[in-house]
Amino acid sequence: MMNAPPIQKKLFDQNWKRILFWGSICALTQVFICLVGLPSELNRRILIESTLSLGYLFILWIPLVFGYVVSKMVKLEGIENPKQGAADLLSGALTGLLGSLGLVLLMLGIDNLDMRDPLINWNPKLFRLLTFENSIGFGSLVWIAVGVGLGTVGASLHQMSSQIRKMTAYAIFGLFSFAVLEDVIDDLSEGFRLEWLSDMIYAKKGGMTVTSMIVLAVVLALLPLIVRGKFKNTVERYRSEAKPEDKRRNSIALFSIVAVLVLVLPWFLGGIINELLANVGLFLLLALGLNIVVGLAGLLDLGYVAFFAVGGYTTAVFTSPNSPWFSPETHFGISLLVVVVMATLAGLLIGAPVIRMRGDYLAIVTLGFGEIIRLLFLSDWLKPYLGGSQGITNIPAIDLGPWEVRGADPRSVFYMVLAFCVLAIYVSWRLQASRLGRSWMAIREDESVAEVMGINTVNSKLMAFVVGAVLASFSGAVLAAKVGSVFPKSFEILVSIIILVVVIVGGMGSITGVMVGSLVLIGILGGPRQPGLLQEFQNFKLLIYGALLVFMMLKRPEGLVPTARRTRELHQEEYLQDAWLGDDESEDREEVGEQL
Amino acid sequence: MSLLEIHNLQVTFGGLDALSNLDFSIEEGEIVSVIGPNGAGKTTFFNTISGMVPPTSGEIIFDGESVLGLDPNQITEMGIARTFQNVRLFPNMTVLENVMVSQHCRTSQLIIGALFQTKAFKQEEKEIRERSEEILGFFGTRLVGYRLDQPAFALSYANRRRLEIARAMATQPRLLLLDEPVAGMNPIETAELTGLISRLRDEWGFTIVIIEHDMKVVRDVSDRVVVLDHGVPIAQGAYDEVSTNPDVIEAYLGRPVEAKS
């Protein structure tokens, strides 16, 4: 009796409430995604030749994930797990079924009711898509079969051995990336003169061919067998490197490899990708600046776009011949000096009145200031000077002697932005480990105590504002030269919010995190006006941003690549437990005894 | 001239006099205890000196200069440092950083130094670090070694109190205000800290004002005791005088002294 057998779940001994709950959510999600228009809009994008479009994929992942979730058992230490079995598969299948019933209801609804007025996507197009251009009966049968099937597959993921699960995951995500990143891979293979490779994988009309898909799936599934945690081991070894000089040497090697890659790669990339990288760089520069203000000093600045605008407009006024009032047509280098001065002034001007506020109040007031600056640029009052809603056009390219940085040549813009990003990273890195950086941290932790401990909080906070402002204005200056014009429209509040999202999702206070954040968000999804890798998502960008943000805040509030400090802060309990185990309290007591 | 002179100090919150007619001075090199029942205005007294609460009327003169109207950081720069009754460390900064950051007002490097890693910057960083380690070493082995890089929230309660004192010491004050430094410590730790408080004066040359409820500590460390009740000073003098003063017994102890021993 010492080892009680694991609890066997009987096939019909189900947790019906749980299935009903997750099943309804599954159905609602599917209907929601359909009505938002994702499937209809993305149906044109073929992933696998004549089999699967991105639109259908957006419905198909749902039963799979919910099937996985519903059959997941909570593991508690010391308590026997219920043995996985057919019961789990059944609950997965039922969840998938409920989800599909949602789609069936939607089809019936579209057929019989007219609700196109509020719901634009309540239309025949969606109906045709859902019924596969056939009858409702046929559509329903297919969806039910697919839902039940995928739900079961999702549930069965728990029962596979971890090896097989890993292989499946590699195959699925690998295929997904190959299919979705078709443009990039095309572009890349062109750059490396490997057109035959992309011709082999992709069909002429877009989408992967079925054969290449199967071959790729097998290769990808075998990948974990070959790699077998080698990568993870290397990372572990690098982290736990005992000797500081070894670690230093490795870090330098790693750094130089990355540096060479970043410098050389753009020559092999096509225009689209370079354009994309330039955008990522522009937003990275902004995010690095905001990271100093929000991540280090803890000042939630929602009007950050104001400094971006100041940089753009200053460059425009000083370099463009079309500037309506004052047009010295200076070189970009000289205007850059003016940009620094103007950004500093703007930082002080906006900072001074708001700096005595704390937390939420600061956020609201900066939000206001951001809008005020944009409205000033837009206003009739300043129209004779800054062009109002017409903005300032005809900003010349940046002339750098032998080179010229202009929008039509995204590679040059990328290098220009790269230089500024390197500067910003250096600044963040050095300031973090300085007297000023420490004072910012203290202010973030507890402002009134920081003041009592002798920190001039007003000065420190203004300094953070100014450094952030200058970095943002650099980004604005390069943007102006890249696009060749500035309009008030480019400096909407949305920019501030997206940069903040980049910082939060990447990992507040972490330079690497911010880099990863901008690569993932701006690079893949795209900026407020700039398309990303997945251009098809243009209309749904904010929806995906929102969903991602909610998911991250629930599951990984510290961000993608957090600093050790922030992880500790958000997982105090776990950290304390570890610290406890490593700590010998009894030693302490003995010492005290001796001293007495 | 006294180090700290307080004339006719009054602090009013709404209609309540948290402190009234407070009038006394602290000489350089003294250890003065401020005692009194809960709500007597002891912590308000500290808050007023350290600039966190502005007084309604009266005058506070530190080393010949008025501190009224100054920001807390300016007062700290003049040489007054404090600890908090409810420990208020920077919980997510490491032990070392907590002490390093409070040398802010004694150091001067700004952006340029950090960006170009000037000689002066590196020298100053080195000095800050060394001084911090020296200060933390004052508490024996408890706050040094691997603990230097632990976040402050991971410390035990007693160690947090010690770190608070270390942080106040790092501002290089002349007057150190300790708000219930042994609250929550066990008898052994209390006895140890009592010894350290005397050493703070003898070895580091601080003048100390201490708020404490533990009468044993008050008796052992203080040269002079000030008793507050409802914001009014009702007695001051040596511990033995004060502890036999009938007013104090009535207001504070509320029971015969004989019963206490």
Cβ atoms of B231 and B41 within 8 Å: the answer is yes
Give the count of alpha carbons within 13 A of B204, CB side only: 25
Residue owning tokens 């001007």:
A349
CA distances from B172 to A456, B132, B163, B203 (A): 16, 11, 15, 13
Cα dist from A6 to A79, A81, A87, whole Å: 9, 6, 14
- Among B72, B92, B104, beta carbon nearest to A439: B104
Taking residues A429-458, what's their average pLDDT? Answer: 93
What pLDDT is stored for residue A504 in this prediction? Answer: 92
Residues from chain A contacting residue B71 (CB–CB below 8 Å): 451, 456
Contact residues on chain B for A434, CB-CB shorter than 8 A = 109, 113-114, 121, 125
Do A126 and A211 fall within a single domain?
no
Confidence grade of residue A575 (pLDDT, cut at 50, 70, 90): confident
Claim to verify: residue A299 and residue A223 sit in the same structural domain:
no
Q: What Cα–Cα distance (Å) separates residue A382 from each residue in A244, A379, A387, A390, B159? A: 58, 6, 7, 12, 60
Provide CB contacts within 8 A for A125, sequence distance 6+: A40
Whether A94 and A187 map to the same domain: the answer is no
Do residues A92 and A211 share a domain?
no
What was the pLDDT predicted at A121? 85
Judge whether residue A236 has pLDDT over 90. no
A516 to chain B, closest Cα gap in Å: 24
Same domain, A395 and A412: yes
Rounded to 5 degrees, φ, ψ at B151 are -70, 150
Q: Does B154 touch chain A (CB under 8 A)?
A: yes
Mean pLDDT of A144-164: 87
* A309 shares its domain with A440: yes
Which residue is closest to A563 within chain B, CA to CA?
B92
Verify whether the Cβ–Cβ distance B111 to A431 is below 8 Å.
Answer: yes
* Interchain contact, B114 vs A435, CB within 8 Å: yes
Largest CA distance in chain B: 68
Last residue of a domain, one of A113, A137, A159: A159
For residue A538, is it within any domain?
no
Q: Cα–Cα distance between A479 and A420 in angstroms, integer? A: 12
Smallest Cβ–Cβ distance between B71 and the set A438, A451, A596 belongs to A451
Put simply, whether A595 touches B (Cβ < 8 Å) is: yes
Q: Is pLDDT at A404 greater than 80 in this prediction?
A: yes
DSSP sequence for B175-215:
EEEEESTTTT--HHHHHHHHHHHHHHHHHH--EEEEE-S-H
> Helices A493-506 and A271-290 sit at what angle, rounded to 10 degrees?
80
Average pLDDT over residues A544-565: 88
Other CB atoms within 10 Å distance of the CB of residue A40? 20
Q: How far apart are CA A115 and CA A73, in angstroms?
A: 40
Q: For residue B240, how far is the Cα from the chain centroid? A: 23
B119-137 and B157-170 are packed helices; what angle lies between their axes, rounded to 10 degrees?
Answer: 140
Interface of B with A in 174-193 (CB under 8 A): 188-189, 191-192
Strand partners, B211: B34, B179
Q: Could you tell me if A519 and A525 are in contact, meaning their C-beta atoms sit under 8 angstroms apart? A: no
Chain B: closest CA distance from residue A300 (Å): 19
A555 part of a folded domain: no
Residues A89 and A214 in one domain: no
Judged by average pLDDT, the poorest of A47-61, A362-376, A548-562 is: A47-61
For residue A434, being part of any structural domain is answered with: yes
**Gap from B245 CA to chain A (nearest CA, Å):** 33
Smallest CA-to-CA distance from B27 within B81, B63, B70 is with B63
Nearest CA in chain B to A588: B142
The minimum CA-CA distance between A434 and chain B, rounded to whole Å, is 6
Round the average pLDDT of chain A to a whole number and report it: 85
Chain A: closest CA distance from residue B255 (Å) = 32
Is residue A360 pLDDT above 50, yes or no?
Answer: yes
CB half-sphere exposure, A51, CA atoms < 13 A: 11
Identify all chain B residues contacting A429, using CB atoms and an 8 Å cutoff. Answer: none
pLDDT of residue A76: 56
Low-confidence ranges of chain B (pLDDT < 70): 252-261
One-letter identity of residue A255: F
Measured CA to CA, the distance from residue A120 to residue A102 in angstroms comes to 19
Rounded to 10 degrees, the C-alpha dihedral A535/A538/A543/A544 comes to: 20
- Give the residue-averaged pLDDT of A449-456: 94
**Residue at token pair 């699967």:** A52
Of B77, B93, B110, the CB nearest to A441: B93
Question: Is residue A449 scored above 90 in pLDDT?
Answer: yes
In chain A, residues with a C-beta closer than 8 Å to the C-beta of B84 are 449
User: What pairs with residue B57 in β-bridges?
Assistant: B10
Q: Which chain A residues are within 8 Å of B103, Cβ to Cβ?
A: 454
Same domain, A394 and A470: yes
Residues A107 and A189 in one domain: no
Is residue A577 situated within a structural domain?
no
Q: Of A492, A523, A543, which residue is a domain's last?
A: A492
pLDDT (0 to 100) of residue A81: 59
Q: List Cβ<8 Å contacts ≥24 apart for A576-580.
A: A576/B153, A576/B154, A579/B150, A579/B154
Residue A263 lies in a domain: no
Q: How confident is the model at residue A79 (pLDDT cuts 50, 70, 90)?
A: low
Name the most confidently modeled range: A245-249, A445-449, B242-246: A445-449
Residue A558: pLDDT over 60 = yes
Instruction: Look at residue A72 in the predicted model and tell me its pLDDT.
Output: 73
Domain boundary among A454, A472, A492: A492
- Number of residue pairs across A and B with CB atoms under 8 Å? 124
**A372/A250: higher pLDDT:** A372
Domain carrying residue A190: 161-228
**Rounded to 5, what percent of chain A is helix, strand, coil?**
70, 5, 25
Whether residue A261 has pLDDT greater than 80: yes
Instruction: Map tokens 């990328």 to a residue.
Output: A414
Query: Would you place residue A82 in the very low, low, confident or very high pLDDT band (cuts 50, 70, 90)?
Result: low
Q: Which residues make Cβ contacts (< 8 Å) with residue B14, sequence separation at least 6?
A: none
Q: Assess whether A88 and A217 both reside in one domain.
A: no
Answer yes or no: is pLDDT of A345 > 90. Answer: yes
Q: Name the residue with higher pLDDT: A590 or A332.
A: A332
The answer to whether the CB atoms of B171 and A457 lie below 8 A apart is: no
Q: Is the pTM of this model over 0.90?
A: no
Does residue A339 lie in a domain region? yes
Structural domain contains residue A235:
no
Contact: A575, B128; criterion CB under 8 Å: no
Residue B210, SS3 per DSSP = strand
Return all residues near A56 (Cβ < 8 A) that are at least 6 apart.
Answer: A39, A43, A129
pLDDT of residue A596: 41
Residue A1: predicted pLDDT: 42
The answer to whether residue A528 is domain-embedded is: no
Residues 111-130, chain B: which have Cβ within 8 Å of A? 111, 113-115, 117, 121, 124-125, 128
For residues A34-43, give the mean pLDDT.
Answer: 86
Please give the pLDDT value at position A443: 94
Min distance B212 CA to chain A CA atoms (Å): 21
Q: What is the pLDDT of residue A135?
A: 87
The CA angle A446-A449-A450, to the nearest 5 degrees, is 80
Minimal CA separation from A461 to chain B, in Å: 13
- Say if residue A41 is in the same domain as residue A150: yes
- Give yes or no: residues A182 and A152 share one domain: no
- Asked if the C-beta of B72 comes within 8 angstroms of chain A's C-beta atoms, the answer is yes
Q: What are the distances in angstroms from CA A9 to CA A77, A82, A85, A306?
A: 19, 7, 7, 60
Q: How many domains does chain A have?
A: 3
